[in-house]
Amino acid sequence: MTNPIKAYTLSVLTEDKAGLLNHLTIIFTRRKINIDSLNVSLTEVQGVSRFTIVTQTTSEMAEKIVKQIRKLVDVLDAFVYEEDQIHYQEIALYKVPTKVFLKGNKMETLVRTNGARILVIEEDYIVIEKTGHKEETQEMFNKLEPYGVLEFVRSGRVAISMSKRKTSTLIEQLETSPANNLELPISG
């Protein structure tokens, strides 16, 4: 039986160093695997960043990619998650002409009923913000499109695992592991 292709979220904890993104993308490129979304952020541990990568592949390939990522020098650890193992959100911004809001309260109702909010009001345009899963932000785009969307942008996924593991505890375990001689910055 073949392993089905589906969405996987990879969470990669790294030292906060330049150049790592290139090394990560090479791992995907060599396997001809596309990155659907990528987000990099600081963590609660000083000097440690988290790459959140979403890709469509098989579970076997996702595991292989994570094993390869773990071999990179500045990578502290990497994990692969299925959709039901994480909490996640994306943010979308929609720029629409101000004039569509002047034609009654239909637009305002559309914004409210879809859990969005008005972020910026300018003379020529209004920026609407919506957080949610990709399907939800796409649905909002589809509803706004007839009114003339001037610009649309969606962020990469931001995800947090359902595991009870603390990042700081993981880092401490890595620091004390005899297999690692890492010189990590210690947060105070």
State how far the Cα of 143 lies from the Cα of 134, in Å rounded to an integer: 14
Q: Which pLDDT value is given to residue 1?
A: 60
pTM exceeding 0.95: no
**Residue 182 domain-assigned (yes or no):** no
* pLDDT averages per 10-residue partition of the chain, 188 residues: 88 92 95 95 92 96 96 94 96 96 87 96 96 96 96 95 82 70 42
Hunting for tokens 């239909």 — which residue is that?
Answer: 106
Are 165 and 76 contained in the same domain?
yes
Contact yes or no for 89/134 (Cβ under 8 A): no
Asked whether residue 10 falls in the same domain as residue 69, the answer is: yes
Phi first, then psi: what are they for 165, rounded to 5°?
-65, 135
Residue 181 lies in a domain: no
Gap between the Cα atoms of 22 and 24, Å rounded: 5
Query: Quick one: 30 exposed, middle or buried, by C-beta within 10 A (0-12, 13-18, 19+)?
Result: exposed
User: Listing from the earlier edge strand, what are the strands of the sheet with 75-81?
Assistant: 35-42, 48-57, 6-15, 75-81
Cβ proximity of 127 and 94 under 8 Å = yes
Q: Are 156 and 37 in contact (CB under 8 A)?
A: yes
CATH code, 61: 3.30.70.260
Domain count across the chain: 2
pLDDT score at 183: 47
Clarify whether residues 68 and 108 are in a common domain.
no
Same domain, 13 and 71: yes
**Is 187 a domain residue?**
no
- Residue 24 maps to a domain: yes
- Whether 52 is covered by a domain: the verdict is yes
Q: What is the CATH number of the domain that holds 138?
A: 3.30.70.1150
